[in-house]
Structure 1
Amino acid sequence: MSSIPGTEYLSGALNVISQSLTIPVMVLLLIIAVVSVIALGGFISEYTSMKKVGVGKIRDLIFKINTAASVDDLMNVISGSDIPKSQKKVLTEIAKSEALDSDSREALARKLVEHEEEKIDKSLRNTDIITRVGPTLGLMGTLIPLGPGLAALGAGDVNTLADALTIAFDTTVVGIGSGALCYFISKIRRGWYDQYLSDLDALSDAVLFFMNKQ
């Protein structure tokens, strides 16, 4: 059976491109594995140092903010509260905005909260990328060496096939393992950060209400 003219050239070009990706894929998988381990260390460190603020503490703090006698008293309430330093910084900035009118103060508060959201998005970016890219690179690392491996099997070269299968399995494990680990980290962190932003929204609204009634 005759093949389509030019097919062998296209197949050869695709094969060259495919095989040339072997080293870059393996290098990227090694980088991803290192980044995943670093992310796990950061995740554990963040968990052990994280302030656990329940809804009861937020409720009590809102009551204290609402019943503050003055702006100075409000500042003392914020500084003495048991909330993360980043939240204290945002609330303090809002409390210092006495010179602004209500619309400008709300714009400032909105911008400060958005800045916290941007910081959170940035901290989740690496693990989110690995969650999607890791398994893809693992699949590429699986398929690329199988072509030469199967060709070697046809020629009776079992050693080359064994080497190809070793690379295929190793890259698959690293890619899927890194993706699964980073998915877990991102999922747990996103829950923490959603709660953080929810608390910050409630507290910033309370501070805004206090400032606007002054």
Structure 2
Amino acid sequence: MYTPTLNTRRLILRKFNENDLEAFYDIFSDKEVNHFLPWFPLKNLDEAKSFYQERYASIYQKKQRYAYAICLKENNTPIGYINIDLDESRDLGYGLKKEYWHQGIISEAVKAIIQQAQKEGLNYLTATHDIKNIHSGHVMKKSGMHYCYSYKEHWMPKNIPVIFRMYQISLDGKKRIYQKYWNQYEHFIEENI
């Protein structure tokens, strides 16, 4: 089963569906929510439908296991998203409507998705954050991820230089560091992270 529904104390993690389009638009159109993400905020419901089709509906047809809407149990309406890419990076990404920031919701969702990934045999996960997005870094640390290195990338499509911090968690007990960004970009190790 792909993208199985997950339940936590406060949350339901489930697939997005077309009935979620307005909530989906609210998440992906907000400038603050999408400031540190690799796309521009959506401008209208038509863009939201296309984005949903491209980034979620099409993935649900493949063997992608982790592309979730984050919903509160009280109403099952999406307030954010959490995904793991199943390429070699095993990159964990997430976003949340700003009225729900600083309530531990993303940390709760990350914990659930890490447990599911480990249960299904993934051996590690990575996550990156813009150094200006310190709250995302706190989520990564709180979830048990460890800082590995930083790298500088000219980020498209926003066409800006960004310094990212790369974090990783081993799910199989083996020590390894994902090297692609290290090999591809100017990189360095920061002290006291």
For the superposition of Structure 1 and Structure 2, which TM-score range results when normalised by the shorter chain? under 0.3
Q: Highest CA radius of gyration, 1 or 2?
A: 1
Question: So what's the TM-score if we normalise by structure 2?
Answer: 0.20
Question: Relative to total residues, which structure has the larger helix share, 1 or 2?
Answer: 1
Higher relative contact order (CA 8 A, sep 6+): 1
TM-score (structure 1 length as normaliser): 0.18
